[in-house]
């Protein structure tokens, strides 16, 4: 990947993380006023957004360091 492409990719990942965090805030605001019986669905949405942030963060760390964050045992093995 060319350096300018990498910079655009990194920028897009930062934006994606920010958008997912905003979505989590919206879900929390909704949870604050939602009927109790709606909580399971809202919690599911919240957890999905949290998972998305984890994935984007792993991709960002990999883009910044060249090491995939989700597989530390492989990243730090003696053969690397």
Question: Which residue do the tokens 């009927």 mark?
Answer: 35
Mean pLDDT of the 47-68 span:
92
Contacts of 17 (CB under 8 A, 6+ apart): 53, 56, 57, 60
Three-state secondary structure call for residue 49:
helix
Mean pLDDT of the 38-50 span:
97
pLDDT, position 3:
87
Mean pLDDT of the 35-59 span:
97
User: Six-digit token pair at 80?
Assistant: 């690397």
Which H/E stretch holds residue 21? helix 3-33
Cβ-based neighbour number of residue 59 at 10 Å: 19
pLDDT, position 77:
47
Mean pLDDT of the 42-61 span:
96
Domain boundaries, the chain: 3-75
Tell me the percentage of the chain whose pLDDT exceeds 70: 84
């Amino acid at each position: 990947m060319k350096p300018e492409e990498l910079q655009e990719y990194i920028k897009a990942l930062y934006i994606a993380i920010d958008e997912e965090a905003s979505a989590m805030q919206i879900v929390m605001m909704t949870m604050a006023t939602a009927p109790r019986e709606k909580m399971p669905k809202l919690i599911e949405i919240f957890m999905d957004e949290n998972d998305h942030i984890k994935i984007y963060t792993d991709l960002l760390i990999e883009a910044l360091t060249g090491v995939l964050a989700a597989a530390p045992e492989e990243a730090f093995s003696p053969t690397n």
